[in-house]
Amino acid sequence: MNDKHIEMRGVRKVYRFFSLDDVSLELEPGQIMGFVGPNGAGKSTTLRLAMGMIAPDAGEIRVLGHEIPRQQAVAKRDIGFVSAEMRLLPHATLGWHMDFMRSIYPEWDGSYAATLVKRFNLRTEQNARSLSLGEHVKATLLLALARRPRLLILDEPTTGLDPVARHEVISEFMDVLRDDSRSILFSSHNTVDVERISDTLTFIDRGRIVDCANKEDFLERWRRIQVQLPPGAVLPDVPNIVKRETDGHFVTLTTNQFSEGLLKLIGPHVTHVQRMNLEEIFVTNVMYHREARGQ
């Protein structure tokens, strides 16, 4: 039985100026996956492939057990998709949109929708045209959340939101995950949000997956190690160093496989061992992989 919510294997999509190559990812029920990459890395393309909005040139995609794009109509009944590009009908009110969704989706939860209107500080009688950017994002999220889909696929859901609105929206995502049979895949370049709420992380750069692991592993594995060498001393060769900066007697090593054993190998001149936040890990990781690929 296939119980993964998303399964992509060796997915490829070639465009004239951009190609996505060998993309594989897996999302388990009950999890939030943060999909992180610079602008133009292929985040939106990957999410659109998962939604069946575009067909892959190679590879396999299964979402909620359905083969995509062939069975996308069935899969989509249980997927809520929101992207920053989505536009509500400008001359219709939020209430009209809510009625429309209710008429299509039998799972529409009217009382939850009403709660969200209040929590997100929206007004049902307001025309979409007059919504601010942040309100518009919250309105599209509301329309997806109130269907209570098993899987939420969100493309940059917090972009354009002020800190308060971001906070409201993120609390709502966490609330979804109280139910361990539901899951969220969301792309973002805001590593602060991703670091806070994701269970697993996938880094993408220039159309390729750079790294993928559970968040705690990421944060445990990466460290910056500072060394001060006495005159004449030489740093031994140690493995798993992705970056090395030397400034006179001071050396900073960045590792993606930290262990006490590694510290022993480096020797007695270590002065500091620092944890890294997700943003630092992300940038170092991307630069390291670009170098390794000779780009």
> Which stretch in 5-13, 84-92, 174-182, 257-265 sits in contact with another protein by CB under 8 A?
174-182
Least separation in angstroms between CB 177 and another protein: 6
Q: For residue 236, what is the DSSP state?
A: P
Give CA–CA dist 135/177, Å, rounded.
23
Virtual torsion, Cα 170, 158, 42, 184, nearest 10 deg: 20
Q: Does 199 bind another protein (CB under 8 A)?
A: yes
Is the Cβ of residue 162 or residue 216 nearer to another protein in the bound state?
216
Give CA–CA dist 66/3, Å, rounded.
11
Q: Does 7 bind another protein (CB under 8 A)?
A: no
Give CA–CA dist 242/272, Å, rounded.
17
Q: Does 213 bind another protein (CB under 8 A)?
A: no
What ranges make up the beta strands (E) of the chain?
Answer: 6-14, 19-27, 32-36, 58-63, 66-67, 79-83, 151-155, 183-188, 200-205, 208-214, 223-228, 241-247, 250-255, 270-275
Is the Cβ of residue 31 or residue 93 nearer to another protein in the bound state?
31
> Which stretch in 8-16, 88-96, 117-125, 188-196 sits in contact with another protein by CB under 8 A?
188-196
Q: For residue 237, what is the DSSP state?
A: P
3-state secondary structure of 148: coil
Least separation in angstroms between CB 120 and another protein: 14
Is the Cβ of residue 94 or residue 154 nearer to another protein in the bound state?
154
Least separation in angstroms between CB 232 and another protein: 33
Q: Does 170 bind another protein (CB under 8 A)?
A: yes
Give the one residue of 54, 133, 174, 292 binding another protein; rule: CB under 8 A: 174
175: amino acid identity, one letter: D
Give the one residue of 150, 215, 223, 224 binding another protein; rule: CB under 8 A: 215
Q: Does 118 bind another protein (CB under 8 A)?
A: no
Least separation in angstroms between CB 220 and another protein: 8
Least separation in angstroms between CB 215 and another protein: 6
What ranges make up the beta strands (E) of 15-163?
Answer: 19-27, 32-36, 58-63, 66-67, 79-83, 151-155
| Residue 65 backbone class (left: φ over 0; alpha: ψ -120 to 50; beta: rest) | left
User: Which residues 24-43 are close enough to bind another protein by CB under 8 A?
Assistant: 30-32
**CA 271, 274, 278 angle in degrees (round to 5)?**
160
- HEC string of 251-288 equals EEEEECCCCHHHHHHHCCCEEEEEECCHHHHHHHHHHH
Give the one residue of 60, 107, 180, 291 binding another protein; rule: CB under 8 A: 180
Q: Does 55 bind another protein (CB under 8 A)?
A: no
Least separation in angstroms between CB 162 and another protein: 15
Least separation in angstroms between CB 197 and another protein: 5
The site for another protein (CB under 8 A) is made up of 30-32, 167, 170-171, 174-175, 177-178, 180, 192, 195-200, 214-216, 219, 275, 277
